[in-house]
Amino acid sequence: LKDELKISAENGIHVQLCGRSYYLDPKRTVPGTANFISHAHTDHLPRRSDEKHVIASSETVALANMRLSADLMRTDEEGLSMFEAGHVQGSRMALIERGLSILYTGDFCTRDKLHMRGARPVRTDILIMESTYGRPCYSFPDPIELSAVIRDWCADTLEGGRSVVFNVYPLGKAQEIEYMLSGFPLFCDASVHRHNAILSFPSEVPEMSHAGREPAVFIVSSLKSLSSLPRGLSRPLIAGASGWALDSRSGRTSTLDENFPLSDHCDYSDLLAFVSGCEPSLVLTTHGFSEEFAADIKRELGTEARALKDGTVSLSAHF
Ligand SMILES: [Zn+2]
Ligand SMILES: [Zn+2]
């Protein structure tokens, strides 16, 4: 029994290894087990917390408590270490080392950005990874070069007398845009402001209620916030920033004047390079094109790979 391993997509991802139970991004935290939260995006946070002690960065715990009105607390777990995931502030990957090693990426991004270092590969026996953009058609531009394009576009728009609205996630994308546009007249909505306050980053972006009639850049987490734009402002140009901007068929761009392919995830070649760097003997993929990407890992790298499917045991082994 001691050397048993089981991995299943159940309540997030459930890993049972040598008599210890781990839940990775669980929907509900479970007492008596190790509960790891990779980052504070809603789809990775527990909806119920029967166990208050979680393994996560201090930023993730603070953001989770704000977003869920919860009272989670940080704890440590022997044999579990965390590494920068490069996705949003506070995002971490988890490495479990107990007889053998298992790396769980959560959402991750290996490209260095202006405001954040990318994730680096970690040697592991088993790699559990997200494959959101696991199709060859997804190839993202260099984030530093894209930052310059976004700055230029904003400068031109303001000079032309129009304001800019960025409609983005309040955690991650909002801070990234604010950071790359430092020096511009910037304002944000209440939700973005709450996230900035917890992260103390970036230093100071006032709320929209403080804006005058001069053209400015507004960072909002919902287009509903446009109702609090200052009166007398001419219609602003509305921009998005997402990896899906590359996907013209997605239809997600219809309400936007401009959509920049700025992503907090790996693109296809980043994902493959990460697998190579980790040198795993088995890869389990989750999110997005998980089955297609698992097949590509096998074909391109010769590494055993399969998709983690909901509710089923994807791996059961003795070693
Ligand atoms: Zn995320
Ligand atoms: Zn996610």
Taking alpha carbons only, the member of 136, 144, 96, 155 closest to residue 117 is: 144
92 alpha carbon, closest ligand: 1
- Please tell me the distance between residue 309's alpha carbon and the centre of ligand 1 in angstroms: 19
- Please tell me the distance between residue 136's alpha carbon and the centre of ligand 1 in angstroms: 21
For the segment 32-70, what is each residue's pLDDT rounded down to a tens digit?
Answer: 999 999 999 999 999 999 999 999 999 999 999 999 999
- Say what the pLDDT of residue 62 is: 97
Ligand 1 ion: nearby residues, β-carbon < 5 Å: 41, 107
What crossing angle do the helices spanning 190-199 and 173-180 adopt, rounded to 10°? 80
pTM of full prediction above 0.85 = yes
Whether the per-residue pLDDT at 254 is higher than 70: the answer is no
Percent of the chain having pLDDT more than 70? 97
Residues β-bridged to residue 282: 126, 304
Q: How many CB atoms lie within 10 A of CB 116?
A: 22
- Please tell me the distance between residue 169's alpha carbon and the centre of ligand 1 in angstroms: 10
- Please tell me the distance between residue 99's alpha carbon and the centre of ligand 2 in angstroms: 29
- For every residue of 244-300, DSSP letters joined together read GGG-GGG-TTTT-SEEE---SS--HHHHHHHHHHH--SEEEEESSSHHHHHHHHHHH
Average model confidence (pLDDT) for the chain? 93
108 alpha carbon, closest ligand: 1
109 alpha carbon, closest ligand: 1
